[in-house]
Amino acid sequence: MIGTVRRSAGHGMAGTAERWTAIMGGVVLGLAGARRGDWLGLALAAAGGGLVLAGAGAVPLAERVRDAAAMRRAHPEPRTVQANVTIRAGREAVFRHWRNLSHLPRLMDHLDRVEVLSATRSRWVARGPGGVPVVWHSVIDKERPDELISWHTEEGADLPHRGSVLFRDAPGGRGTEVSFTLAYDPPGGAGGRAVAALFGAAPEQQAREALRRLKCLMETGTQPTIAGQPRGGRAPGDRKR
């Protein structure tokens, strides 16, 4: 049940949310006037547009890929993405959940499955742009029980990147602090594409989302959803009443 709960428009909503932020962030409260339909338009654009770059003014991914060379010049250093969350659960339980890598697709929309091959090796299958599967092998290179897991893609992989998760006791008995870090080549490079495959086009947001889901699963055993709830509104010409 839980594993099948998926958010409908993960990264797509990001664009909408950021526009909302821009609106709430200043000027426009007094504008009072999102014109009728504006928000529907945004929502449709976000949901239907598929891979839309949050934070880059809704640039379709295709354009982003085309600009890869330019991006490489602009960001020659490896990139790091980090997300942090505090979970109301013991360090051991949270560690155990993550250490079972086959759980990870529950946390990351773009990840189809992770096959555990040995104590340290695993095979990851993600749904890349356009639904094309992207496959790579990872090796856990460091593990300290209840404290740390770090891994990297195998030597010679097309899409190299590194990841780590740190688990710490929050002060005052307030649960477990989790830090999730990914390092990869600039967005235009191969590693960048792997991260895009893994996390969609807004890695920071999707890393946060992964930790949010981990927290919600650990704390409540489920994920909140509104997918499938009733709503009104009729299509043009629809006469139902």
Partner 1 sequence: MKALCWNGIDDLRVERVPDPAILDPGDAIVRVRLSSVCGSDLPLISGRMPTMKPGDILGREFLGEVVETGPAVRHRGRGDRVIVAAAIGCGKCRFCQTGRSALCDNSNPQPEWTESAYGHGTGGAFGSGHAFGGYAGSHAEYVRVPFVDHNGIRVPDGIPDETAVFVSGAVPTGFAAADMARIEPGDVVAVWGCGGVGQMAMRCARLLGAAGVIGIDRRPDRLEAAQMKAGAEPLDDTRVDLFDALQAMTGGRGPDVCIDAVGMTAEGTEGAVLRAMVACCRKGGTLSVIGDHAGHMDRFPMGAAVNKGLTIRMGPPDGRHTAERLFGLIGSGDLDPSYLMTHKWPLDDAARGYHMFRTRTDNCMRVVFAP
Q: How far apart are CA 138 and CA 10, in angstroms?
A: 25
Please measure the distance between the N-terminal and C-terminal CA atoms of the chain and give it in whole angstroms: 34
**178 binds partner 1 per the rule CB under 8 A:** no
Select 30 or 76, whichever has its Cβ closest to partner 1.
Answer: 30
Select 8 or 100, whichever has its Cβ closest to partner 1.
Answer: 8
Query: Using CB under 8 A, which of 94, 190, 233, 239 touches partner 1?
Result: 233
Per CB under 8 A, the segment of 12-20, 135-143, 148-156, 158-166 that binds partner 1 is 12-20
Q: How far apart are CA 151 and CA 180, in angstroms?
A: 12
Select 131 or 241, whichever has its Cβ closest to partner 1.
Answer: 241
In one letter, which amino acid is 64? R
| CB 125 to partner 1: min, Å | 26
Q: How far apart are CA 40 and CA 48, in angstroms?
A: 12
**109 binds partner 1 per the rule CB under 8 A:** no
**59 binds partner 1 per the rule CB under 8 A:** no
Select 29 or 119, whichever has its Cβ closest to partner 1.
Answer: 29
Q: What is the pattern of x (binds partner 1, CB under 8 A) and - over residues 124-163? A: ----------------------------------------
Select 17 or 183, whichever has its Cβ closest to partner 1.
Answer: 17
Give me the residues paired with residue 59 across strands. Answer: 53
Select 33 or 130, whichever has its Cβ closest to partner 1.
Answer: 33
Query: Using CB under 8 A, which of 156, 224, 236, 237 touches partner 1?
Result: 224
Per CB under 8 A, the segment of 10-18, 105-113, 141-149, 192-200 that binds partner 1 is 10-18
User: Which parts of this chain interact with partner 1 (CB under 8 A)?
Assistant: 1, 5, 7, 13-14, 16-18, 20-21, 23-26, 28-30, 32-40, 43, 86, 88, 174-175, 205, 208-209, 212, 215-216, 219-234, 240-241
